[in-house]
């Protein structure tokens, strides 16, 4: 046949090799046309007819067409599909089935079929489903887009849609694991010290059920403090390799969403047998830390124990009492400990500020929901003294864990954070130099010198500078080998204080127990495991952000209709406008360039510098706090639109 003619195939190949071409990713617009963005920063116009052959996110090769002074491209080869597995809504019209991808930049209506194992009658118009693209017009033998519905996520009227759709989007589990109720303590060959008469206490949010840390503190006669940290011990129940352990390994973390938690361990363990409930004896892994009067850490000792919390305390209640507010008074055996813990916290904070690094306090925004999932309020929770007391205690305990594992084992699950990604360090150095900040390139990758730089930058209190530097900074990753944590200013950091909710902490518990028993440690964690832990943490954070965005849109719809004004911080600037965070409730909104000035040509946006000029004068920059008015709440894209206020 003609299409199999080798001479024709050779001719087509010659034409391809001599025709100007480009490869890049498709960026769609809501006006029908799009752009092909290449890896080297080039942007080519894709006309509406050609956009019918692609979707936003497709990586394609395209033919470049020159027409006078206008250049456009025509995609002809699919390199990688932008859509593979995706969330969509069902569209049923006159017996025809289609799906619409749930994506702000994809408006395509895709013909679809339902997976054989699903009941077609159970899936109706508007339902949320997991779909998979099975045909693409740029694939050989395919002439059009076609999708398959693989899973029903939620009915259109399900009040749990924001949670179910978000979890499904990120391929996260919808429910807590269930593994029965018979959980005897394992015989681990460990001697457990009896601490049940010691007045340990917990401090958490009032509604917390999975309490995994309890504290005991005593001032030392020679000055300083002796802090005992008792941590819940799920590995006392869950044997390595057990089905529950393997499930926890897969989940990696408990997912915390507004109004819903999806636990890593079965609730029977997470919220009951392992949780350090007041008055309940629990197996724990403990550490005694000697804290010097100046806040530096001295000796430490890990051991297995049985402990009993004598008080379940809440952050705000403890903070109020320490600040001499409210009527609550702690028990006589707890009160002096809270004051000692406060004093130790202030000493540790001062020591870390001088010798390590301290994060700036940011408030938490807590959603108050009714049973149907409607947002009643968004409450601001400041980082008060009781929050800092627990934070400082956990940082100290985790620093000791990192030291123990590095010294006695040589590996574990470490949190490693580089200040700047290697490929961005040079650009960061150039940026700092342009700001007349003299620093050697090597200082960006050496912890002691970086700490000096960071403290110098913080003394400037320059919000624009902080925001611009974040473009170059790296992310925290999980590593089997010790490495520096630049964010904390520590040479190594390994968490063991949240084993109910973090699988990496369970791994570290088992390694600590090996050390206590004098046993040889197993092989270090595989790269596959550490990468999975890093990726699952990223997905969890994205899921939390996505649910919050959805709830914010619902909560602020009345405010948008009333065009209510808010104070907001500029957190990002791109070619299309600026993104702001409302300081009253933490919601983010986008201010499009046309909202900044009615004449778009009078708005000059420098996204690299993070500055916006209006009519030739600088009006906005990253870090600025401005007034904005909400003008639109779009639930279909979970986005808020604002304009600059008066």
Catalytic position from the list 315, 493, 503, 552: 315
Alpha carbon separation from 101 to 51, 58, 91, 203, 582 (Å, rounded): 16, 14, 11, 44, 29
24 neighbors 59 (Cβ within 8 angstroms):
yes
Q: Are 99 and 129 in contact (CB under 8 A)?
A: yes
Task: Note the residue count of the chain.
Answer: 646
Each as own residue / partner, the long-range contacts of residues 297-303 (CB below 8 Å, 24 or more positions apart, any chain) are 297/396, 297/399, 297/400, 298/224, 300/400, 300/403, 300/404, 302/400, 302/404, 302/512, 302/515, 302/516, 303/193, 303/516
Decide if 555 is inside a domain. no
Q: Are residues 22 and 109 in the same domain?
A: no
On the question of pLDDT at 134 being above 70, the answer is yes
Cα-based torsion angle of the residue sequence 133, 139, 145, 149 in order, rounded to the nearest 10 degrees: -20
**Pairing of the two strands 193-194 and 297-314:** parallel
Mean pLDDT of 153-174: 96
Q: Verify whether residue 555 is a known catalytic residue.
A: no
Domain co-membership, 388 together with 511: yes
Say yes or no: 201 and 312 in one domain. Answer: yes
Q: Are residues 212 and 262 in the same domain?
A: yes
* Cβ proximity of 204 and 211 under 8 Å: yes
Q: Do 123 and 138 reside in the same domain of the chain? A: yes
Q: Based on the fold, state whether residues 436 and 316 are members of the same structural domain.
A: no
Q: Which of 58, 102, 212, 233 is catalytic?
A: 212
**Residue 572 Cα to chain centre, angstroms:** 17
- Structure confidence by residue, pLDDT tens digits, 522-535: 999 999 999 999 99
Residue 581: pLDDT over 80: yes
Same domain, 499 and 448: no
Has 501 been annotated as catalytic?
yes
Q: How many domains does the chain have?
A: 5
Binned at pLDDT 50, 70 and 90, residue 3 comes out as very low
Task: Count CA atoms closer than 13 A to 531's CA, side-chain side.
Answer: 3
Give the Cα separation of 451 and 466 in Å (integer). 15
**Whether residue 27 sits in one domain with residue 114:** no
358 lies in a domain?
Answer: yes
Q: Let me know how many helices (H) and strands (E) the chain has, helices first.
A: 14, 30
Specify whether 299 is located in the same domain as 371: yes
Q: How far apart are CA 86 and CA 276, in angstroms?
A: 40
Same domain, 286 and 429: no
DSSP secondary-structure letter at 144? S
d(CA 547, CA 553): 10
Is 134 part of a structural domain of the chain? yes
User: pLDDT band for position 248 (50/70/90)?
Assistant: very high
Residue of 249, 501, 510, 537 marked active site:
501
CATH of residue 575's domain is: 2.40.50.140
What domain range is 113 assigned to? 85-158
- d(CA 497, CA 508) in angstroms, rounded, equals 10
Which whole number is the average pLDDT over 122-143? 94
Catalytic one of 102, 127, 204, 316: 204
Q: Of 55, 80, 105, which residue sits at a domain end?
A: 80
Say if residues 492 and 404 touch (Cβ distance below 8 Å): no
| Tens of pLDDT, residues 266-284 | 999 999 999 999 999 999 9
Phi, psi (5° rounding) for residue 510?
Answer: -65, -35
Torsion angle defined by CA atoms of residues 126, 127, 132 and 135, in that order, rounded to the nearest 10 degrees: -30
Contact 513, 285 (CB under 8 A): yes
Same domain, 66 and 140: no
185 within some domain? no
Q: 311-330, pLDDT tens digit by residue?
A: 999 999 999 999 999 899 99
pLDDT at 4 over 60: no
Would you say residue 626 lies in a domain? yes
SS3 580: strand
Residue 553 inside a domain? The answer is: no
Domain boundary among the residues 141, 158, 175 is at 158
* Alpha helix ranges (H) inside 40-183: 48-51, 161-169
Residue 204 designated active-site? yes
Percent of residues, the chain, with pLDDT higher than 90:
83
Q: Check 58, 127, 210, 316 and give the catalytic one.
A: 210
Residue 552 lies in a domain: no
Q: Is residue 510 domain-shared with residue 616, that is, in the same domain?
A: no
Decide which of 198 and 116 is more confident: 198
Phi then psi for 459, rounded to 5 degrees?
-65, -20
Residue 140: pLDDT above 50?
Answer: yes
- Per residue in 32-53, pLDDT (tens digit) is 999 999 998 899 999 999 999 9
Distance CA 418, CA 474 (A): 6
- Report yes or no on 112 lying in a domain: yes
């Amino acid at each position: 046949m003609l299409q199999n003619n080798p001479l024709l195939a050779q001719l087509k190949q010659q034409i391809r090799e001599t025709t100007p071409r480009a490869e890049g990713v498709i960026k769609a617009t809501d006006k029908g046309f799009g752009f092909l963005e290449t890896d080297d920063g080039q942007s080519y116009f894709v006309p509406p007819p050609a956009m019918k052959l692609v979707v936003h996110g497709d990586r394609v090769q395209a033919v470049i067409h020159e027409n006078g002074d206008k250049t456009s491209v025509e995609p002809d080869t699919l390199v990688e599909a932008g859509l593979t597995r995706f969330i969509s809504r069902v569209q049923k019209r006159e017996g025809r089935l289609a799906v619409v991808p749930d994506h702000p930049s994809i408006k395509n209506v895709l013909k679809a079929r339902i997976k054989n194992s699903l009941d077609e009658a159970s899936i109706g118009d508007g339902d949320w489903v997991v779909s998979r693209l099975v045909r693409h017009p740029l694939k050989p033998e395919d002439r059009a887009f076609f999708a398959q519905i693989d899973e029903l996520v939620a009915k259109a009227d399900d009040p749990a849609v924001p949670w179910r759709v978000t979890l499904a989007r990120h391929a996260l589990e919808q429910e807590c694991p269930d593994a029965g109720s018979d959980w005897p303590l394992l015989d681990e060959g460990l001697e457990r010290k009896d601490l049940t008469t010691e007045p340990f206490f917990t401090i958490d949010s009032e509604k917390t059920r999975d309490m995994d840390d309890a504290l005991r503190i005593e001032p030392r006669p020679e000055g300083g403090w002796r802090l005992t940290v008792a941590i819940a011990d799920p590995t006392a129940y869950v044997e390595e390799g057990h089905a529950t352990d393997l499930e926890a390994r897969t989940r990696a973390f408990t997912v915390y969403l507004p109004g819903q938690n999806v636990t890593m361990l079965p609730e029977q363990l997470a919220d009951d047998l392992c949780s350090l409930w007041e008055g309940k004896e629990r197996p724990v892994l403990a550490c005694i830390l000697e804290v010097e009067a100046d806040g530096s850490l001295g000796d430490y000792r890990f051991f297995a124990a049985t402990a009993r919390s004598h008080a379940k305390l809440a952050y705000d209640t403890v903070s109020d009492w320490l600040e001499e507010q409210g009527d609550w008074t702690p028990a006589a055996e707890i009160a002096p400990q809270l004051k000692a813990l406060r004093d130790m916290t202030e000493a540790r904070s001062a020591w870390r500020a001088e010798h390590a690094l301290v994060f700036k306090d940011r408030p938490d925004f807590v959603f108050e929901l009714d049973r149907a999932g409607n947002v009643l309020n968004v409450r601001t929770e400041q980082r008060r003294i009781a929050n800092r007391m627990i934070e400082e205690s956990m940082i100290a305990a985790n620093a000791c864990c990192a030291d123990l594992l590095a010294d006695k084992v040589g590996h574990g699950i470490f949190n490693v954070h580089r200040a700047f990604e290697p490929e961005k360090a040079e650009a960061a150095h150039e940026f700092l130099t342009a700001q007349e900040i003299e620093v050697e390139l090597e200082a960006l990758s050496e912890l002691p010198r970086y700490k000096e730089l960071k403290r110098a930058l913080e003394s400037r209190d320059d919000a624009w500078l902080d925001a611009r530097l974040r473009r170059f900074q790296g992310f925290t990753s999980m590593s089997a080998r010790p490495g520096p944590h630049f964010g904390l200013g520590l040479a190594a950091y390994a968490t063991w204080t949240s084993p109910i909710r973090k699988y990496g902490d369970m791994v570290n518990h088992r390694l600590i127990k090996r050390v206590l028993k004098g046993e040889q440690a197993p092989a270090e964690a595989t790269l596959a495991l550490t990468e999975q832990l890093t990726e699952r943490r990223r997905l969890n954070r994205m899921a939390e952000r996505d649910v919050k965005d959805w709830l914010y849109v619902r909560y602020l719809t009345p405010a948008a209709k009333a065009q209510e004004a808010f104070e907001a911080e500029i957190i990002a600037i791109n070619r299309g406008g600026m993104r702001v965070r409302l300081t009253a409730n933490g919601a983010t909104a986008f201010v499009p360039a046309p909202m900044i000035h009615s004449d778009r040509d009078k708005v000059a946006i420098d996204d690299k510098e993070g500055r916006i000029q209006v009519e030739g004068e600088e009006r906005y920059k990253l870090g600025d706090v401005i007034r904005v008015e909400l003008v639109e709440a779009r639930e279909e894209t979970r986005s808020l639109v604002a304009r600059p206020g008066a």
